[in-house]
């Protein structure tokens, strides 16, 4: 989910989830938009710094920010510190009983579909064309007159909003928040979903997330070392199917997703 | 007689669109641009020639704003733009093309040009309406493509275009912002004899509407197109003049060892 709006694939990863927002407020329709807003603001803040770098430096600096937040949350004893915090109940949305697991599932699915629809509009818009141009050839974008940093920061911020929303949903699902949501291994897991599903594609990460969870489920029933075949699979995808599962499903067109 | 003299003076004083003064750029021990002085007049087609390694592309990159000179000044339209970033210079009216084709490989030819037009129009923070169905981008993009002989190929991804077509696309994208000054870096690079003739013909058509500074190796194209020619040797401008003057210039002939000068 996270890498979707961030057309650079990995850039939203560090902004995984913002259980913080739930800790402070009472449940309601307020929580989800607020989570998205906080996600966006933090993304804008970190992005303003991170996006001055690129490539491996960018990955390292986003990772550093994520770890910084992780340790900040660990040190906040009042909000549970390392142990995390149990939520007493799920958010209340009028007319929808989110405590029913199936209804909660459909609620999340609806949000996912809405998000994908919005993202698809954005991808096809003028703004989306600029981002896709940046991904293909940023130098030429500048030579054409685009202040590319501005657009990348806007995309990063949108990705942050999406990540914030996802974070609020995950906290609702588990009814528990802990700093482990912010740990870098979590970012790695999401990155694996994106790579498996297809870097730089809109729908790929959805397939990637489903595939990763299914694989995890299946493989772990054979052996506790299930991460070994999974790792090999990821290496294979990274080497031979750069557009991941989505690339395989949609055919290997020279898309720019 | 006096009339002709007056006309000559008017020509000499034709408004300078681009003025380069004492531009200097070095990489370690290598001086890539040495005290470069150059004037491009409004409306002219100016060619920049010189042996390999003379620093032509480096000079062009500084004029476009991709490289920052160590010292010296660049004036455009009377304004000092030495420290203006490349994306700002586009909006002042400078556009460039690249020697090594630099397009968006996964976009179609039309997308490539439309993206260039969009840059000049601004309004790139529109998140809702489809850019591919926006006639204010698509219409001018198609017009430009047909002018540069790419209309039939408009829906081909740029990566699948033939080399010559990619070179034409380069020029189309540079023209999309309707610049005052077009900086062309070897538009005929990698083209065969036929492709070069074709490109020269297309540039002939461009000549009337925009001031051009062109780096080029193909001397037939240079002497056919240029109103004036400047010769760069070791980063320094050793001569500027009309094609006839340059052809007759002894220093230039030495620099080229008398070979390819027609």
Q: Which of A127, A147, A254 lies closest to B159 in CB terms? A: A254
**Spatial distance between the Cα atoms of A180 and A174, rounded to a whole number of angstroms:** 13
Whether residue B77 is found in the same domain as residue B140: no
Q: How confident is the prediction for chain A on average, in pLDDT? A: 80
CB contact under 8 A, B64 and A143: yes
- Indicate the residue among B154, B178, B202 that finishes a domain: B178
Which of 128-167 (A) contact B at CB < 8 A? Answer: 128-130, 132-133, 136-137, 139-148, 151, 154
Lowest mean pLDDT among A1-15, A70-84, A225-239, B102-116: A1-15
Residue B150, pLDDT above cutoff 60: yes
Whether residue B89 is found in the same domain as residue B184: yes
Whether residue B88 is found in the same domain as residue B123: no
CATH number for B31: 3.40.50.300
* Residue numbers in B near A133 (CB within 8 A): 104, 107, 115
CB contact under 8 A, A137 and B98: no
Residue A17, pLDDT above cutoff 70: no
Whether residue B115 is found in the same domain as residue B135: yes
Whether residue B190 is found in the same domain as residue B88: yes
> Measured between CB atoms, does A120 come within 8 Å of chain B?
no
CA distance B222 to chain A (A): 25
* Residue numbers in B near A127 (CB within 8 A): 124-127
> Measured between CB atoms, does A253 come within 8 Å of chain B?
no
Residue B5 has what pLDDT? 46
CB contact under 8 A, A254 and B128: no
> Measured between CB atoms, does A183 come within 8 Å of chain B?
no
Q: What is the mean pLDDT of residues B228-235?
A: 93
B21: β partners = B73
CB contact under 8 A, B106 and A122: no
CB contact under 8 A, B119 and A144: yes
Whether residue B163 is found in the same domain as residue B191: no
Residue A12, pLDDT above cutoff 70: no
Whether residue B84 is found in the same domain as residue B188: yes
- In chain B, the number of structural domains is 2
Residue B80 lies in a domain: yes
Q: What is the mean pLDDT of residues B128-148?
A: 93
Q: How confident is the prediction for chain B on average, in pLDDT? A: 90
Q: How many Cβ atoms are within 10 Å of A247's Cβ, its own excluded?
A: 21
Lowest mean pLDDT among A82-91, A159-168, B129-138, B176-185: A82-91
- Mind giving me the DSSP string for chain A? -TTTT-TTSSTTGGG---THHHHHS-SSTTHHHHHHHHHHHHHHHHHHHHTTS-HHHHHHHHHHHHHHHHHHHHH-GGGTGGG-EE-SSPPPBTTB-TTSHHHHHHHHHHHHHHHHHHHHHHHHBHHHHHHHHHHHHHHHHHHHT--HHHHHHHHHHHHHHHHHHHHHHHHHHHTEE-GGGGSHHHHHHHHHHHHHH-TT-SSHHHHHHHHHHHHHHHHHHH-TTTHHHHHHHHHHHHHH-TTHHHHHHH-S-----
Q: Which of B98, B106, B129 lies closest to A136 in CB terms? A: B106
Asked if residue B164 lies in contact with residue A159, where contact means CB atoms within 8 angstroms, the answer is no
CB contact under 8 A, B104 and A139: no
ipTM value, please give it.
0.87
Residue A55 has what pLDDT? 80
Residue A28 has what pLDDT? 53
Give the structural domain span for B48.
Answer: 15-93+180-262
Residue B101 lies in a domain: no
Residue B62, pLDDT above cutoff 70: yes
Q: What percent of chain B has pLDDT over 70?
A: 92
Asked if residue B22 lies in contact with residue B71, where contact means CB atoms within 8 angstroms, the answer is yes
């Amino acid at each position: 989910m996270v890498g979707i709006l961030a057309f650079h694939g990995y850039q939203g990863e560090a902004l995984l989830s913002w259980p913080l927002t739930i800790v402070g407020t009472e449940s309601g329709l307020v929580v989800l938009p607020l989570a998205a807003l906080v996600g966006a603001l933090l993304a804008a803040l970190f992005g303003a710094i991170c996006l001055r770098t690129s490539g491996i430096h960018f990955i390292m600096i986003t990772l550093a920010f994520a770890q910084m937040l992780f340790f900040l949350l660990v040190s906040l004893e009042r909000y549970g510190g390392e142990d995390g915090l149990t939520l007493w109940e799920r958010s209340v949305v009028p007319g929808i009983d989110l405590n029913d697991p199936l209804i909660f599932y459909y609620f999340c699915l609806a949000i996912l579909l809405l998000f994908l629809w919005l993202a698809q509009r954005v991808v096809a818009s003028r703004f989306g064309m600029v981002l896709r141009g940046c991904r293909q050839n940023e130098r030429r974008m500048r030579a054409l007159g685009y202040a590319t940093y501005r657009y990348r920061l806007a995309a990063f911020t949108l990705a942050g909003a999406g990540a914030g929303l996802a974070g609020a949903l995950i906290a609702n699902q588990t009814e528990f928040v802990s700093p482990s949501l912010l740990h870098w291994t979590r970012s790695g897991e999401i990155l694996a979903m994106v790579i498996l599903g297809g870097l730089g594609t809109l729908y790929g990460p959805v397939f990637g997330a489903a595939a990763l969870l299914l694989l995890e489920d299946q493989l772990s029933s054979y052996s506790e070392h299930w991460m070994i075949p999974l790792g090999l699979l990821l290496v294979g995808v990274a080497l031979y199917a750069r557009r991941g599962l989505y690339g395989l499903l949609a055919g290997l067109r020279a898309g720019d997703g | 007689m006096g009339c002709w003299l007056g006309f000559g003076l008017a020509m000499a004083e034709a408004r300078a669109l681009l003025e380069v003064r004492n531009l200097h750029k070095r990489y370690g021990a290598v001086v890539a641009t040495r005290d470069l002085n150059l004037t491009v007049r409004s409306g002219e087609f100016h060619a920049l020639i010189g042996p390999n390694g003379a620093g032509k592309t480096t000079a062009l990159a500084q004029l476009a704003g991709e490289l920052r000179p160590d010292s010296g000044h660049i004036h455009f339209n009377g304004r000092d733009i030495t420290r203006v970033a490349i994306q700002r210079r586009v909006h002042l009216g400078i556009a460039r093309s690249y020697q090594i084709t630099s397009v968006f490989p996964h976009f179609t030819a039309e997308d490539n040009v439309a993206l260039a037009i969009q840059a000049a129009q601004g309004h790139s923070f529109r998140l809702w309406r489809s850019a591919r169905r926006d006639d204010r981008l698509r219409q001018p993009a198609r017009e430009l493509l047909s002018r540069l002989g790419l209309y039939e190929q408009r829906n081909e991804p740029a990566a699948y275009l033939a080399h010559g077509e990619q070179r034409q696309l380069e020029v189309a994208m540079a023209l999309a912002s309707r610049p005052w000054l077009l900086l062309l870096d070897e538009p005929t690079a990698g083209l065969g004899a036929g492709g070069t003739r074709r490109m020269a013909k297309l540039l002939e058509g461009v000549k009337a509407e925009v001031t051009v500074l062109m780096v080029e190796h193909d001397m037939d194209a240079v002497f056919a197109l240029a109103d004036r020619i400047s010769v760069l040797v070791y980063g320094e401008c050793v001569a500027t003049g009309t094609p006839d003057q340059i052809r007759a210039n002894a220093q230039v002939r030495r620099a080229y060892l008398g070979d390819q000068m027609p």
